[in-house]
Chains A and B, each alone.
Chain A
């Protein structure tokens, strides 16, 4: 038994090392005082971060990314609320297969989505713009949002809605007074996840970007210039911590949601 568990510990250790070592290198070189990204380290500097502050094209790309990520987060979450509510409360013809199709982009290779959207948009005579990227991102983010929100809606005791209705409230007010506050943590988690996915997404943004690059596309373009590498490391560090931070917050809200409704679920058996 002990031998087995020791093996398992080693396995986990290596796995985590391979997974995270490259990411840890980012901040290491971001603070390294040499313009060449290699060991040995030569000293500490925050120069690469201050370079970021004065780079105009970078700022435009960052602004594009933020705009897309915020729009994506809002629209994906909105669509997901409707889908999650419909799939958990109502039974309608073909519900399972419809939900299956809605969730499909989660496992579809992004490159396929990117190429096919590119073809469709160009065939339909539309210009590539931030809007085309946003639409692609909504497509891939919505399934994730639905997954999060479905569990939030499913955990909701149906009799809470009925109780509100029974006490004389309208269906519309019931949604805002009872359902919405209870799935709120799920909604926040969904917004943050969609935001994070969109912010980091490269393939679709690359295919559908016209003249306006997003942050990942900008970074990819800059990789050709070795002198820019350290400042990209600094940018990567910033993005890394923003992403981790957002995911942690999202998870906090998701847990809080489960705690809230979980208490209600066990309420009857206390």
Chain B
């Protein structure tokens, strides 16, 4: 195992009495696309700025490339940042902005010129060199910010919600472009975002944060398929929750009493965050089926449709189960010949024990 490019251990950050970060332990691997995901105000920016050197932590340590960053100021760290506002220098042209960091390093003029041209090419801004920076669109400003940071070949590129200011279409385009860029340069990217879809599509690994703490660190598939807590499950994608009570454990199995579904035996590994304190069962909408005609399933339960949302390719049903007050959601692909049910209709909901997660 190679050493991590970034290692945070026991990091705390206080603003006065308010604890913005608590006990952050995190390893980020060299060359990966890593995302910090969490709701607004959970401390993502604070964590990113601690890595960049703009915030001094109250406790704990940060190592980049094995070097302690204790007392190393931001301008001496092997990291560069793309700011949320992009922070393009308004009185400089595109080329001057990109050359800024190289000039600070006092490189020879010829080399600066070559590297600036290369960086501007890389982000697709050919021909914009002399453009005044206030005459750029949002997407172009972002490209300048990227070029300005990447031209310095940092060990780590830090990006604070770089796509949040763009409209939907441009955002999707930039997502794949950022991914492509990251693969091309091979630099470790650490991206902050509150958009779970963005994190899932772009990242190799994601750290989910709530209230200054890291809740789970995992790949997108594991995060979605095996969230370790109810909080993570609810934040990433859609998840139905049913109250559950653990009865007994025997060997690799656990017996639980689940609301509406009754007494079940589940494998222990479906308690993804450990069995301690589990009090609910989670199931994704796509793991449930509305059974038609003679269709059967491992298990089934009678329900009543209370809401239908038709999306063209998909239909989302809210269905009410017996002995559960609020409805749960079932998503169905609208394949050929499948009828869309109406509100009030009776439905048979098919499910399987293997798609249930035991969560706390």
Q: With the chains together, A160 CA to B148 CA distance in Å?
A: 13
Q: Please, which residues of chain A bring their CB within 8 A of the CB of B79?
A: 166
Which residues of A (154-197) have their CB < 8 Å from a CB of B?
A: 157, 159-160, 162-170, 173, 177-178, 181-182
B75 and A160 contact, CB distance less than 8 A:
no
Report if A182-B75 is in contact (Cβ < 8 Å); known contacts: A162-B83, A167-B104, A268-B85: no
B105 within 8 A of A: yes
Residues in B with CB closer than 8 Å to A39 are none
Task: Tell me the minimal C-beta distance from A165 to chain B in angstroms.
Answer: 5
What is the bound-complex CA distance between A247 and B140, given in angstroms? 38
| B223 close to A (CB within 8 Å) | no
Q: Is A120's beta carbon under 8 Å from chain B?
A: no
Q: Which chain B residues lie closer than 8 Å to A263 at the CB level?
A: 90, 134
Which residues 72-123 of B have a CB within 8 angstroms of A? 73-76, 79-81, 83-91, 100-101, 104-105
B171, CB-defined interface residue at 8 Å: no
Q: Are A168 and B101 in contact (CB under 8 A)?
A: yes
Task: Point out the residue from B75, B83, B87 that lies within 8 Å of A168, measured CB to CB.
Answer: B75
B138 neighbours in A (Cβ, 8 Å): 267-270
Q: Mark B197-235, 1 if CB is under 8 A from A, else 0.
A: 000000000000000000000000000000000000000
Cβ contact within 8 Å between B74 and A163: no
A260 within 8 A of partner (CB): yes
User: Chain B residues near A157 (CB, 8 Å)?
Assistant: 85, 87
**Nearest-neighbor residue (CB-CB) of B49 within chain A:** A162
Size class of the A contact interface (CB-based, 8 Å) = 20 to 34
Partner of A173, one of B90, B104, B134, B141: B104
Residues of chain A in range 12-30 having any CB-CB distance to chain B below 8 Å: none
- Give the interface size bracket for B toward A: 20 to 34
A260's nearest neighbour on chain B, judged by CB, is: B90
**A-contacting residues, B209-266, CB 8 Å:** none
Contact check: which of A164, A260, A269, A270 meets B100 at CB < 8 Å?
A164
Q: A261 within 8 Å of B by Cβ?
A: yes
Bound-complex Cα distance A270 to B166 (A): 7
Q: A167-B80, A270-B137 are in contact. Are A160 and B104 (CB under 8 A)?
A: no
A147 to B54, CA, bound (A): 29
Interface residues of A in 236-250 (CB under 8 A from B): none
B152 in contact (CB, < 8 A): yes
Measured between beta carbons, the chain A residues less than 8 angstroms from B134 are 260, 263-264, 267
A263–B73 Cα distance when bound, in Å, is 29
Cβ contacts under 8 Å, A163 to chain B: 81, 83, 87, 89, 148
Contact A166 B52 (CB under 8 A): yes
In the complex, what's the smallest C-beta–C-beta distance from A90 to chain B, in angstroms? Answer: 15
Q: Using Cβ atoms and an 8 Å threshold, which residues of chain A touch B75?
A: 165-170
A178-B85 Cα distance, complex, nearest whole Å: 16
Please indicate the chain B residues that have their CB under 8 angstroms from the CB of A162 in the complex. Answer: 54, 74, 81, 83, 87
Contact yes or no, B74 A165, CB < 8 A: yes
Q: In the complex, which residues of chain B have a beta carbon less than 8 angstroms from the beta carbon of A267? A: 85-86, 88, 90, 134, 138, 141
B341 close to chain A: CB less than 8 A: no
Cα-based distance from A173 to B134 in the complex (angstroms): 23
| Complexed CA–CA distance, A270 and B101 (Å) | 25
Judged by a CB distance under 8 angstroms, whether B165 is at the interface is yes
- Kindly provide the distance from the CB of B344 to the nearest chain A CB, expressed in whole angstroms: 45
Q: Is A159 in contact with B85, judged by CB distance below 8 angstroms? A: yes
Cα distance A256–B104 in the bound complex, in angstroms: 28
Q: Is B90 in contact with A261, judged by CB distance below 8 angstroms?
A: yes
Contact A182 B80 (CB under 8 A): no
**Contact pattern, B 122-136, Cβ under 8 Å of A = 1, otherwise 0:** 000000000000100
Is B87 within 8 A of A159, CB to CB?
yes
Indicate the member of A163, A169, A260, A268 with the most B CB atoms within 10 Å: A163
Nearest to B101 among chain A residues (CB) is: A167
Contact A166 B74 (CB under 8 A): yes
A157 to B85, CA, bound (A): 9
Partner pick for B152 among A160, A167, A269, CB 8 A cutoff: A167
- Chain B residues with CB below 8 A from A182, complex form: 90-91
Residue ID in chain B nearest A156 by CB atoms: B90
Of all chain A residues, which has the CB nearest B138?
Answer: A270
Question: Chain A nearest CB: distance from B205 CB in Å?
Answer: 24
**Once bound together, how far apart are the Cα atoms of A65 and B80, in whole Å?**
52
CA distance A43 to B245 in the complex (A): 107
Cross-interface CB contact of A268 among B54, B74, B84, cutoff 8 Å: B84
| Interface members, chain A 53-104 (any B CB < 8 Å) | none
A20 to B90, CA, bound (A): 40
Shortest B88–chain A CB gap in Å is 7
Complex Cα gap A164–B99 (Å): 11
Q: Across the interface, do B74 and A270 meet the contact criterion of CB distance under 8 Å?
A: no
- With a cutoff of 8 Å between Cβ atoms, the chain B residues found around residue A260 in the complex are 90-91, 134
A173, B76: Cα distance in complex, Å: 15
Residue pairs across A and B with Cβ atoms less than 8 A apart, 19 shown, are A157-B85, A157-B87, A163-B81, A163-B83, A166-B75, A167-B75, A167-B100, A168-B105, A168-B152, A169-B101, A260-B91, A261-B90, A264-B134, A268-B86, A268-B138, A268-B165, A269-B138, A270-B137, A270-B138
Chain A residues in contact with chain B, CB under 8 A? 157, 159-160, 162-170, 173, 177-178, 181-182, 260-261, 263-264, 267-270
Given A167-B152, A269-B138, 5 more A-B residue pairs with CB atoms under 8 Å apart are: A166-B79, A169-B75, A173-B104, A268-B85, A268-B138
